Structure 1
Amino acid sequence: MADRLNGYRILILETREEAQFSRLLTEQGADVLQCPMFTIHDAPDPAPVEAWIRRSIEKPFDDLVLLTGEGLRRLMKVVRRIGVEQEFVASLGKARKFARGPKPGKALREIGLEPQMTTEKPTSEGVAEMLSRLDLNGHRLGLQLYPDKDHSVLIGAIKAQGAEVDTVLPYTYDAQAADTNIIAAIDEMAYGRVDAIALTNLGQIRRLIEVARARGCEDRLREGLDRTPIASVGPAVSDELKSHGLRTDIYPAEDAFFMRPLISAMAAELGKKPPRAVARG
């Protein structure tokens, strides 16, 4: 049903898939306040990425672990640029494919492949737990990483199972982008002008707190979050919120950790009260 969020002002922190999220919210009538958090760039040195791709083609991995959908899409961008798309997709088809949550699975389906297993929890810990139940001894395992995260524990856990791990980091974040927009979003929450903030990945939380601390306004951020309902797409985001002493107010029903179920949960919860703009009027 359209217009379920008519009049509600929803803050989203733009990172990877938020263009789609913004469109879905707008279709439901929401007034979407967009805050760019950072931009994503291809790896500054393409040589290691290209070398990883060529190794995967020359000798296909036994297993492939994808931690993000963005990672596979960035790899495919390089693959197409160097003209080996058919060979690369064929090599991936020979590997057992493991996805950290639903987003890498979606990216695999875009190139006609399916994950053999998806983590119950879309976290690195969930990946390690899933792989711990498998025999990896003697396997060559390709591992796609993502930026701003120490992956040494996961890599160590896989190596401890006897696998040879070959990692690739196909993109990077611009950590300096959009500080001004982030401060403005913090102010909007502190002034009580936002009906909910919707969080879809844990990097958004870290970035919010990082910028607030650097600008000396962490107390104002926490004040704003105290008075603004916080919607979380899933357990990784909620765990990150909890680690910073923050709560989750809105959560998808039935463990459906996708954007549409999150929007439904927001509509159900926010619909209990009128939009703040109406209430103030």
Structure 2
Amino acid sequence: MSTPELPQNYTGRRIALPETRQLDVLAGLFERRGAEVLRCPLVSIHDAPDQAPIRLWLDRFLTDPAIGDLILLTGEGVKRLHAAAERFGLAEAFLDRLAHTRLIARGPKPGRTLKQWNITPAIQAEIPTSEGIIATLRQMDDLAPEVGVVLYGTEPNRPLIDAITALGRVPVAVAPYIYATESETEAVTQLISAMAAGEIDAMTFTSQPQIKRLKTVAEKTGMTEELSRGLDRTIIAAIGPVMADTLRAMDIRVDVMPEDRYFMRPLVDALAEKLAETPVDRG
């Protein structure tokens, strides 16, 4: 059975995609629908440089039966923990412990990562945000005495940690990866110039470090006004409410966000609808 041809509703459009964990997948979704994709390496992801806290967390997770619940904020965190467990010779024990722990996922990405090991989260927050996780925890009357938390990058996520503590439980958090920002500045400044010149139809944002890096480079290179002009001229798409709130907090207009499913394909569909209403303007 042949795959139906996708509508080419991005033909003649230039879409800027900041670096993401699944850049090739997202770029492919756009390119198969006719878009010209400009890839910009705003951030990269690395294992936490100090692996000692990761080993300590793994040892506690594997041996402490009080950790009966584990909150997974990202799929990347699960991947990095598994890779660390492999380095320490603990991979089999780690996967067995995951399979016998109640897993609480913020959104669909942790589940997609766990699928490769035939593990499924027991609970997924109705709203894929930290606030959604907090609301879920407050509805649970059998929360474990200790709650593991796989953090998003190095952000401490004080609201979530404080909420767990307020529920009378002990949070056991780990940050297995970091966002690095040593990407070439020249590529970022070229993107800013292209946006300011009206050469980019739309730009997508899928994680907070992307916009933070963009603004930092603009400030360091004296291109703040040019970036502001470029953002005003470009359709801005956010993958979900957390990303949208971050942009708005920086006084950046959000033109597109999926209505209820906050991942890549709905983002591409929502942006296509917006562009269908917007004439091509290279002036």
Question: Which residue does 2:233 correspond to in 1?
Answer: 227
Partners of 2:277 and 2:164 in 1: CA distance: 47
2:93 paired residue among 72, 83, 87: 87
Question: Which residue does 1:36 correspond to in 2?
Answer: 41
Question: Which residue does 1:48 correspond to in 2?
Answer: 53
Counterpart amino acid of 1:8?
A: R
2:17 paired residue among 12, 18, 21: 12
Q: Are the structure 2 counterparts of residues 59 and 106 from structure 1 closer, same or farther at C-alpha, using a change threshold of 3 Å?
A: same
Q: Are the structure 2 counterparts of residues 18 and 184 from structure 1 closer, same or farther at C-alpha, using a change threshold of 3 Å?
A: same
Partners of 2:86 and 2:9 in 1: CA distance: 41
- Structure 1, gaps ≥5 residues long: none
State the Cα distance separating 1:189 from its structure 2 match: 0.5
Question: Which residue does 1:74 correspond to in 2?
Answer: 80
Counterpart amino acid of 1:263?
A: V
Counterpart amino acid of 1:243?
A: A
In terms of mean alpha carbon deviation, does 118-127 or 90-99 score higher? 118-127
2:119 paired residue among 113, 124, 145: 113
TM-score when normalising by structure 2: 0.90
Identity %: 39
State the Cα distance separating 1:125 from its structure 2 match: 2.4
Q: How does 1:177-188 map to 2 (within 5 A)?
A: 177-188=183-194
1:175 paired residue among 177, 181, 184: 181
In terms of mean alpha carbon deviation, does 185-194 or 55-64 score higher? 55-64
- Structure 2, gaps ≥5 residues long: 1-5
Partners of 2:122 and 2:34 in 1: CA distance: 38
TM-score when normalising by structure 1: 0.91
Q: Are the structure 2 counterparts of residues 213 and 136 from structure 1 closer, same or farther at C-alpha, using a change threshold of 3 Å?
A: farther
State the Cα distance separating 1:83 from its structure 2 match: 2.8
In terms of mean alpha carbon deviation, does 52-61 or 187-196 score higher? 52-61
State the Cα distance separating 1:191 from its structure 2 match: 0.3
Q: How does 1:1-281 map to 2 (within 5 A)?
A: 1-60=6-65, 61-135=67-141, 139-253=145-259, 255-276=260-281
Partners of 1:33 and 1:181 in 2: CA distance: 10
State the Cα distance separating 1:138 from its structure 2 match: 5.8
Partner-residue secondary structure (3-state), 1:64: strand
Q: Cα RMSD (Å) of the superposition?
A: 1.9
Partners of 1:161 and 1:34 in 2: CA distance: 43
Partners of 1:102 and 1:268 in 2: CA distance: 24
Q: Are the structure 2 counterparts of residues 101 and 265 from structure 1 closer, same or farther at C-alpha, using a change threshold of 3 Å?
A: same
Counterpart amino acid of 2:49?
A: P
Query: How many corresponding residue pairs?
Result: 277
Partners of 2:220 and 2:106 in 1: CA distance: 31
Counterpart amino acid of 1:47?
A: A
Counterpart amino acid of 1:154?
A: L
